[in-house]
A and B are shown apart, each in its own frame.
Chain A
Amino acid sequence: MRESQWWLISLGAAALMVLLLTVHMGLMHLAGLLRAAGVDLGDVRSFAAVMARGRSAVQLIFYLLFLAAALYHGLYGLRSVLLEVTPPRRQGLLSGLVLLAGLAAFAYGTYVTVRTFTG
């Protein structure tokens, strides 16, 4: 793939994160505001609510998408920064290492999310 395509994916990941982060913030941290607006979600941070969300297929997809978008966007930016201080001969290696780190983090995050889903 061309570099512009990687960059476009990074932009797409950022746009997705804005959407998912808005939902996450609304659900988890702005419950008071929502309540004032007439939407009462109850105690979203109670143990029972957290476990219920963990067993929801929608939440599973939500968190996996969030994880993928955040990892891609963050690691793409990190790679861009590290490329500045990496000699040209080692830049391919750097891209490989960043990709490996991303895949490992995604695998671990997926494992945790799926384990929660399956109970």
Chain B
Amino acid sequence: MRAKDGLQGRAAAESAAAVVTVRVFRFHPETSAPPRYQDYRVPAAPGMTVLDALVHIKERLDATLAYRSSCRMGICGSCGMFINGFPRLACQTQLHTLGSLVQVEPLPNYPVVRDVVPDLEPMVRHHTSVRPFLIRKDGEREPPTAEYLQTPEELEGYLQFAYCIKCGLCLAACPTVATDPDFTGPQALAQAYRYCADSRDDGLAARRAALDSLHGVWRCHLAGACTEACPKGVDPALAIQLLKRLAVATALGLGRRRLAPQAPPPVAVQRRPDIPAPPPPTVEVRHGGGSG
């Protein structure tokens, strides 16, 4: 009964809502049909997002539409699209802010898988190339044998860059990526800085080949489009400038910093009886140096 009321209420809200035209880029790689745009008329209820509109289209108007989404709350970064000429997360973009015609296209600077689904492989490739994990010259590996000691100030130095959700909007906005597909790009460079600025990390030398190269930080013109597009408030343009400073300081032999030490192992500590012991590890954990 309650569910029926809910459906009726939703139908009533939709009938009272303004109708917007959602113009969607359509492309199917397994057909010979050229890419085209298809218009759908969607009732725009208050609070409705572009992702909601795409869900509406797929459920009620055209089941062949392909798009990618997951969390619906701006965390997973799956639903990046080129909406009214700007890269945005579809789940965070309110329909009422876009006018009566909403154009939805796949993100620029990426190959298109189908319809508005981009192939994010270039971003992942560049992201991997900067080795986005803690690197220690002392051979310490994840998980560490003891807790690292990091001050709140040291945490502040990289925290905002750790908010990246890998949605790829920054690469879609970047004019340099548009002209140089080998450019490491704002996402990977911001993540490189996130680790290089981390006091627990000692991996600048290991990342230098990817960063301090023709297609690394020096290709950035500081257009700032990446920062403008980022839905999480990360400032990749700033990270790239800071990486340039790091690269120059390293070239001049300056700017060495203290590596976060590890805490001494706890001594004579007993588990409180009201706190249960952790479950046994599900994978074998090997501490110490070495590769593999």
A contact residues vs B (CB 8 Å cutoff): 2-5, 7-8, 83-85, 88, 91, 95
Do the beta carbons of B208 and A8 come within 8 Å of each other?
no
Distance of A91 Cα from B219 Cα, bound (Å): 12
CB distance from A106 to the nearest CB of B (A): 23
Nearest B residue (CB) for A7:
B218
B23 within 8 A of A: no
| Contact of B181 with A by CB under 8 A | yes
| A-chain residues with CB within 8 Å of residue B252 when the two chains form the complex | 8
5 sample A-B contacts, Cβ–Cβ < 8 Å, listed by A number: A3-B212, A4-B248, A85-B179, A88-B182, A91-B214
B250 at the A/B interface (Cβ < 8 Å)? yes
- Residues from chain A with a CB closer than 8 A to the CB of B203 are none
- Chain A's closest residue to B179 (CB) is A84
**B244 close to A4 (CB less than 8 A):** yes
Count of chain B residues with Cβ under 8 Å from any Cβ of A?
19
A91 to B248, CA, bound (A): 23
Residues in A whose Cβ lies below 8 Å from that of B213: 2-3
Bound-complex Cα distance A5 to B214 (A): 12
CB neighbours of A85 from chain B (8 A): 179
* Cβ contacts B205-227/A at 8 Å (1 or 0 each): 00010001111111100000000
Task: State whether B248 touches A3 (Cβ < 8 A).
Answer: no
Which one of A2, A3, A4, A88 lies within 8 Å of B180 (CB-CB)?
Answer: A88
Instruction: Classify the interface of chain A: helix, strand, loop or mixed.
Output: helix
Contacts of A3 in B (CB 8 A): 212-214, 216-218, 247
Residues of B within 8 A of A84 (CB): 179-180
Measured in the bound complex, the distance between the Cα atoms of B182 and A68 in whole Å is: 31
B223 to chain A, nearest CB (A): 12
Interface: B251 (CB within 8 A): yes
Q: Report the minimal beta-carbon distance from A113 to chain B, rounded to whole angstroms.
A: 31
Query: Is A8 a contact partner of B180 (Cβ separation < 8 A)?
Result: no
Closest residue of A by beta carbon distance from B216: A3
| B219: chain A residues within 8 A (beta carbon) | 83
**A2-B208, A88-B180, A88-B181 known; A83+B248 contact, CB < 8 A:** no
Residues on B with beta carbons closer than 8 Å to the beta carbon of A88: 180-182, 215
Chain B residues contacting A91 (CB-CB under 8 Å) are: 214
3 pairs of A and B residues whose beta carbons are closest in the complex = A4-B247, A2-B212, A88-B182
What residue in chain A is nearest B218 (Cβ atoms)? A3
| Candidate in A3, A5, A85, A88 with the most chain B CB atoms within 10 angstroms | A3
Known pairs A3-B214, A4-B218. 15 more at Cβ < 8 A?
Answer: A2-B212, A3-B213, A3-B216, A3-B247, A4-B244, A4-B247, A4-B250, A7-B248, A8-B248, A83-B180, A83-B219, A84-B179, A84-B180, A88-B180, A95-B214
- For B181, what are the chain A residues with a Cβ–Cβ distance below 8 Å? 88
